[in-house]
Structures are given as structure tokens and as C-alpha cells.
């Protein structure tokens, strides 16, 4: 659930205040990103053991050195060691020399100084493998049971308690576990049924063909019915069999950087709770109706799944200003996108496909319709408490995917990344061996393609 997406199918709702802070990809701390300063960066490694890190950090404390950034990872060279990346204010340069000597002599640490003239956060941290999503899945901007004062369920103690139950499920979840099943109440099922019934009448005429192709399969295999709320685990398994996408429960709103990073691994962070029963056609935040009716059908389509993943991959190690642009591209595509199909325009954005009112409005003559161009789309301002005045229409998912790829090539980062589906990890293409491995993989796939084409010609 993306923090940028505060209003799903609502006509009115609270706008989140801009605090001027953006959470970094690190699991350890929150940093100001608007101010750039000279910093010293280095990596040191320590043998794993009780109190090892505390002993190392005490050396910095004794010299009065303030660490402005720290994060860790298992050492890639020694299985019994951990590596720690730190940033230190440049004013501590002289004292740092003494600490480095102490690390090497007193606790047998290995130290590699990266630079003493480096801009802070040149390359933001990003997850390297799918298990790394555990590091930030609970670094949420708001907890699931904390509701704004104008939320329909704000004064409902029973609803707030129920929301905490859902949040706790997500908070305790780790990658690889089975998503816990939820026994939804009769009231929750009735709310789902109202939304399900209204939207299903519009899908044949307003939704894109990919959504309409998958929806009956969800009814057949995942329990999509007016009287039943599907379970995330069942839906996740279905998606994995179709495109490799999977769902992961989330307790609240993630930052745009963290949410997009999940897409790079074909992981969608999904809520499990449902909107308040007093207003079944309104929600000030994404809920399970939005996730399962809006997002899930398209994630089962191979072209759309790859398009979504391209946005996620583009976000990895991107500077903050480009994260904002990518989040805007995501808003006008995955959430509120339109596409051409034959002579007609259809909706494929989840915010549209989960909103009975806006699904009709977006295809009327009221809003302004513009061609999808990431360079321009990424700069478009948008409201979050009302229907969109502007929508962007893609020629096709394939065309949108190629445009996003070209846009991603303009993002300033010192390397290129690709997703390895076999290891479920991100490969950083920054050396010749990585490029040779990629070339070998491409050659193998090309051989299969040529062989298949040859056999088709023989028929």
C-alpha cells in the first residue's frame, strides 16, 4: 500500500500533511534528505558475536563521533562476519582516523574507507533479495489501527480493535510464511458484497479486456463471490502460478520508495482490512476491496505484471526526486491508468476499477485525457481527495512498458539492475562478469527462440 495513495474511491477525505521528511531505505533510521552535506563514508566488518557491534560503536562514542547513517548486511566474503556501512560528519575526520586504528587493533575489524568527499545518500540503500523486504515491511508511516479524526470508523471502538487485529497479522508476517487466514464477520462480508455487486455490473463495459479475462478465473479458483471475501494466501498462490507476483500483508502505509521496491521483486504489499460498514462506497485509504478487485486481476496478466515490475526496478537506488517522479507515474498508470483497446478507451488503474463512481466518471467527457508520456506524466500534479481532473491513456501495456524503460534510463545511478527470478534477487550489473553472465543467459534464450521458430516453419 503506497503512501501516495491515500484516497481510493472516495469523494472526500483527509490530505496527509507534508512533514518535510522522507524515510530512507535503511531499516535503522530516518533522515532529512533535503539537506546535502559533506560526509565521510566507510565500511567495517566484525565477527558475529554477542556485544561485538556495541564494542565497535563504543569506540565512536568515546571519540565524540556522531554517526549520521548506519546499516548492516552479512559479509559476502566471510560467513561469520557482518559488514556495517556508516556515514560520519566531515568535521570528525581527524577523530575517525583514531577510531579506524582502534577497530583494526583492538577488535580485529576490517575497515575500508570509501571517500572523504562524498555527497550524502549518493546511492540509497535498496533490497538485494526478496528476504530483504522484511527489513522495511513494518517501517510504516501510519499504523493500521490509527485512524484520522474524520475516518468513518474513528469513533467505532469495535472497528478500531478489528483494525489492530489485521495490523498485528501483517506486523508479525515474514517472507516465506503462509499468510494467516481471516474469519471475516457478517458485517464485513456485507460491506464487501455491496462493493462487489456494484462494480461487477460495470466491468464488462468499462474495464480493460485483461481485467475481464482474469476476473472469472478469480471467481472460479479464489472464492471471489458477493458473499465471500477471498483470502490473501489463496489469491497470492493464484498470482504466483500466473505471473510470479505474490501478495504480502502490510500493517499500514509504506513510503513510496519501499512500496515500489516491493514491485521490483513482483511483491505487492496488500491490506487485509475492509472499509467501515457505515460507508461501503467510500474509503479514505486502500482496503481489501481496492487490492483484490482493483489490483489483483491485472497482476495476473503477464504484460501488466512486467510493466509494474519495470517501475519497481527503476526505483532501486534512484535519487529522492526521481522516486517522487516514479510514484507519480505509478499513480497515473497502475492506480488511475487508461488504455486504448481497439477504437475504445478502457480503465486498467486499480483506483478506477475499485471505485463505482470514478470508473464511470473517467470514461465520460468530463475529465481531460492526455497521451501517456512518462517525462510529462511524472510532473503532473494530482488531487488525492477528489476525482482526477486529468488521466493519461496508454497505447498498450507493451508501449507503456517501453516508455517506462526509456524513462528509467534517464535516472542517474552508477549501475543498471535486473531481477533474477531463479534466485529472487537483484543483480547489479556493474562488472564484466555480470555482463558476461547476462549475455550467456540472453544467448540461451535466443537459441530457444530460433529453435521454436524453425519448428513452426516446418509445420
To which residue does cell 496527509 refer? 16
Nearest to 308 by CA among 389, 174, 419: 419
Helix, coil or strand: residue 339: strand
Catalytic choice (83, 188, 291, 335) = 335
Catalytic choice (41, 285, 290, 355) = 290
Return the HEC string of 166-235. HHHHHHCCCCCCCCCCCCCCHHHHHHHHHHHHHHHHHHHHHECHHHHHHHHHHHHHCCCECCECCCHHHH
Q: Is 290 a catalytic residue?
A: yes
- Cell for 235? 489469491
Q: Is 276 a catalytic residue?
A: no
Q: Is 335 a catalytic residue?
A: yes
Distance CA 418, CA 425 (A): 9
Helices 209-221/186-206 angle, 10° precision: 150
Nearest to 368 by CA among 348, 382, 349: 382
Would you say the C-alpha torsion 161, 163, 166, 171 has a positive or negative sign? negative
Catalytic choice (151, 211, 276, 295) = 295
Distance CA 138, CA 27 (A): 9
Whether the Cβ atoms of residue 282 and residue 275 lie closer than 8 Å to each other: yes
Provide Rg for the chain, Cα atoms.
24
Q: Quote the Cα angle for 309-312-316, to 5°.
A: 140
Q: Is 175 a catalytic residue?
A: no
Catalytic choice (270, 354, 355, 378) = 354
Helix, coil or strand: residue 445: helix
Query: What are the catalytic residues?
Result: 290, 295, 335, 354
Amino acid at each position: 500500500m503506497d503512501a501516495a495513495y491515500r484516497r481510493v474511491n472516495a469523494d472526500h477525505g483527509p490530505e496527509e500533511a507534508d512533514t518535510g521528511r522522507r524515510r530512507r531505505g535503511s531499516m535503522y533510521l530516518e533522515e532529512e534528505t533535503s539537506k546535502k552535506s559533506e560526509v565521510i563514508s566507510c565500511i567495517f566488518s566484525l565477527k558475529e558475536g554477542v556485544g561485538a557491534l556495541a564494542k565497535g560503536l563504543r569506540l565512536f562514542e568515546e571519540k565524540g563521533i556522531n554517526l549520521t547513517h548506519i546499516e548492516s548486511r552479512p559479509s559476502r566474503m566471510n560467513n561469520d562476519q557482518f559488514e556495517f556501512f556508516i556515514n560520519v560528519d566531515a568535521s570528525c575526520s581527524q577523530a575517525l582516523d583514531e577510531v579506524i586504528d582502534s577497530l583494526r587493533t583492538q577488535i580485529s575489524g576490517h575497515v575500508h574507507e570509501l571517500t572523504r568527499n562524498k555527497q550524502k545518500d549518493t546511492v540509497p540503500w535498496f533490497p538485494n533479495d526478496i528476504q530483504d523486504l522484511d527489513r522495511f515491511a513494518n517501517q510504516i508511516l501510519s499504523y493500521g489501527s490509527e485512524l484520522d479524526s474524520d475516518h468513518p470508523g474513528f469513533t467505532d471502538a469495535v472497528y478500531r480493535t478489528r483494525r489492530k487485529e489485521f495490523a498485528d497479522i501483517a506486523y508479525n508476517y515474514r517472507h516465506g510464511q503462509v499468510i494467516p487466514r481471516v474469519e471475516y464477520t457478517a458485517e464485513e462480508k456485507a460491506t464487501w458484497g455491496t462493493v462487489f455487486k456494484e462494480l461487477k455490473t460495470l466491468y464488462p463495459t468499462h474495464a480493460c479486456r485483461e481485467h475481464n479475462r482474469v476476473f472469472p478465473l478469480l471467481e472460479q479458483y479464489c472464492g471471489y463471490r458477493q458473499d465471500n471475501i477471498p483470502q490473501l494466501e489463496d489469491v497470492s498462490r493464484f498470482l504466483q502460478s500466473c505471473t510470479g507476483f505474490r501478495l504480502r500483508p502490510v500493517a499500514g502505509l509504506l513510503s513510496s520508495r519501499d512500496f515500489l521496491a516491493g514491485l521490483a521483486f513482483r511483491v505487492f504489499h496488500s491490506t487485509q482490512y475492509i472499509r467501515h460498514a457505515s460507508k461501503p462506497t467510500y474509503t479514505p485509504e486502500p482496503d481489501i476491496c481496492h487490492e483484490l478487485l482493483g489490483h489483483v486481476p491485472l497482476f495476473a496478466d503477464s504484460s501488466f505484471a512486467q510493466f509494474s515490475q519495470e517501475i519497481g526496478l527503476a526505483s532501486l537506488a534512484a535519487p529522492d526526486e526521481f522516486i517522487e517522479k516514479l510514484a507519480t507515474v505509478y499513480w497515473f498508470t497502475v492506480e488511475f491508468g487508461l488504455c486504448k483497446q481497439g477504437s475504445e478507451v478502457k480503465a486498467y488503474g486499480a483506483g478506477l476499477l475499485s471505485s463505482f463512481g470514478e470508473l464511470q466518471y473517467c470514461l465520460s467527457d468530463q475529465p481531460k485525457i492526455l497521451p501517456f508520456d512518462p517525462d510529462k506524466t511524472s510532473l503532473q500534479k494530482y488531487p488525492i481527495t477528489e476525482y482526477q481532473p486529468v488521466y493519461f491513456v496508454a497505447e498498450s501495456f507493451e508501449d507503456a512498458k517501453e516508455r517506462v524503460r526509456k524513462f528509467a534510463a534517464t535516472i542517474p545511478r552508477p549501475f543498471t539492475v535486473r531481477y533474477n527470478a531463479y534466485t529472487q534477487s537483484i543483480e547489479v550489473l556493474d562488472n564484466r562478469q555480470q555482463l558476461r553472465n547476462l549475455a550467456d543467459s540472453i544467448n540461451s534464450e535466443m537459441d530457444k527462440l530460433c529453435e521454436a521458430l524453425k519448428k513452426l516453419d516446418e509445420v
